[in-house]
Structure 1
Amino acid sequence: MALTVMWFTMIAALLAGTGGAAQPPAAGSGGRSWPVSGPGPRGRPEVLRIFEPPATGWGAGHRGVDLRAGPGAAVRAAAPGEVVFAGQVGGTGVLVLRIGPGLRISYEPVRATVPGGARVAAGAQVGVLDGGLAHCPGGCLHWGLLQSVPGGDVYLDPLSLLPAWIRRPGPSRLLPVYGVAAPA
């Protein structure tokens, strides 16, 4: 009987499109979250520009990810942590969240809704998107990840913070294969 219930539960999960994977953790459970909501599955926003690390510390590149979002959009903590900076840098609102030893997330352009020193859970609102960036027509959030190492900071891909089930654009679909012989 228990085996039948287990199989039924797995099949129900597959039919629901979860692929049998664990469901997203609730905000505050130590999980992860997209920093802005989008129209995709599980609130996945459109990625306008990917992380392109510079060849040198001073070279050209894109030291983060741009996510489509308009002014006034809620900005959430992608991981649990502590707000270590909330203010203006060169006239642009910036919020920095320390998420672990030597790891910091940055968000811009953001008007912070939490003060420096605040502890926040993954998924908790930390700010509001404040206007746009010149390189993002229609508005976007620039989301960065920095790691402190001896000699300075290294930029990392912030998408690496998110588990695969959040990053995937949607459930896999099995399609018929025509013209291929069935395996023996």
Structure 2
Amino acid sequence: MRAKRCVYVVTAVLPLFLLGPARPAPAADEPFPAGRDRFSSPAADERFPAGRDRSWPLPGRPAVLRPWAPPPTPHARGHRGVDLAAPPHSPVLAVASGRVSFAGRVAGRGVVSVDLSGTGVPPLRTTYEPVRASVREGDEVTAGRPLGTLEPTVSHCPTTCLHWGLRRGRTYLDPLTLLPPWLLHPGSPVLLPVLGVPLPPPA
């Protein structure tokens, strides 16, 4: 009977560790480009290899103004990256080790792309904009190394923000899947009391 009592307790407490905070439904107001580009859920692509060589692309733990939002169909509207709040001229940091594959301007906006080391062929590629780059194409970077500074523009967000993207080839992925739980949700879990669950009958 003692074994049954342990099963009841574990069954009641386990969901408290598995449930996480609900994510709000993102707005979908970015047009999806025509052609072969497509969005994908993180489950359709392997997560970044485990390890501690990670960094948020901005100092501290920036607020997510708008999350990644894949469209329901290839030609629907969606959001192909994550928007992070930051003051103008904030340092923009490499999320993980890799090689700078592009540093320049696209449609008047500064863009930096980094191909991540050890992520297969084609490699995972992170993008950051709008950034005034301090690196050049071919530079090797490590997690947390400055790539440049955030340009003071508010054309993409209501306030200054960094648009951070992730792709493998022509498939877009959720950039937040690059970060391990200890960066996404700092702090230790707290065990809450279980209320309203009847105790097992005495042995």
After TM superposition, is the score higher than 0.5? yes
Cα distance 1:144–1:181, how it changes in 2: closer, same or farther (>3 A)? Answer: same
Instruction: Give the secondary-structure state (helix, strand or coil) at the position aligned to 1:159.
Output: helix
- How far did 1:172 drift? 2.2
Instruction: Give the secondary-structure state (helix, strand or coil) at the position aligned to 1:142.
Output: strand
The separation in 1 between residues aligned to 2:76 and 2:129, in whole angstroms, is 21
- The one-letter amino acid paired with 1:84 is S
Moved more, 154-163 or 100-109: 100-109
Q: Does 1:79 align with 2:96?
A: yes
Identity of aligned residues (%): 52
Runs of 4+ in 1 over 3 A off after TM superposition: 55-59, 174-184
For 1:20-56, what per-residue CA distance to the aligned partner results, in whole angstroms no more than 9, with x for missing partners?
Answer: xxxx84xxxxx1110002xxxxx22111111011344
* C-alpha contact 1:85 1:116 (8 A) present in aligned 2: yes
Q: Does 1:95 align with 2:107?
A: no
For 1:132-168, what per-residue CA distance to the aligned partner results, in whole angstroms no more than 9, with x for missing partners?
Answer: 34231221100000111xxxx0110011111111111
**Cα RMSD after superposing both structures:** 2.1
In structure 2, the gaps of 5 or more residues are: 1-50
The separation in 1 between residues aligned to 2:157 and 2:65, in whole angstroms, is 8
Partner residue of 1:62?
79
Q: 1:144 aligns with which of 165, 172, 182?
A: 165
- How far did 1:58 drift? 4.5
The separation in 1 between residues aligned to 2:67 and 2:133, in whole angstroms, is 24
Instruction: Give the secondary-structure state (helix, strand or coil) at the position aligned to 1:160.
Output: helix
Instruction: Give the secondary-structure state (helix, strand or coil) at the position aligned to 1:122.
Output: coil
Instruction: Give the secondary-structure state (helix, strand or coil) at the position aligned to 1:54.
Output: coil
The structure having more radius of gyration, on CA atoms, is: 2
In structure 1, the gaps of 5 or more residues are: 1-23, 26-30, 38-42
The separation in 2 between residues aligned to 1:138 and 1:98, in whole angstroms, is 28
Matches within 5 A, 1:154-173: 154-173=171-190
The separation in 1 between residues aligned to 2:73 and 2:96, in whole angstroms, is 28
- How far did 1:179 drift? 6.4
Q: Does 1:33 align with 2:50?
A: no
Partner residue of 1:15?
none
Instruction: Give the secondary-structure state (helix, strand or coil) at the position aligned to 1:78.
Output: coil
TM-score (norm 2): 0.65
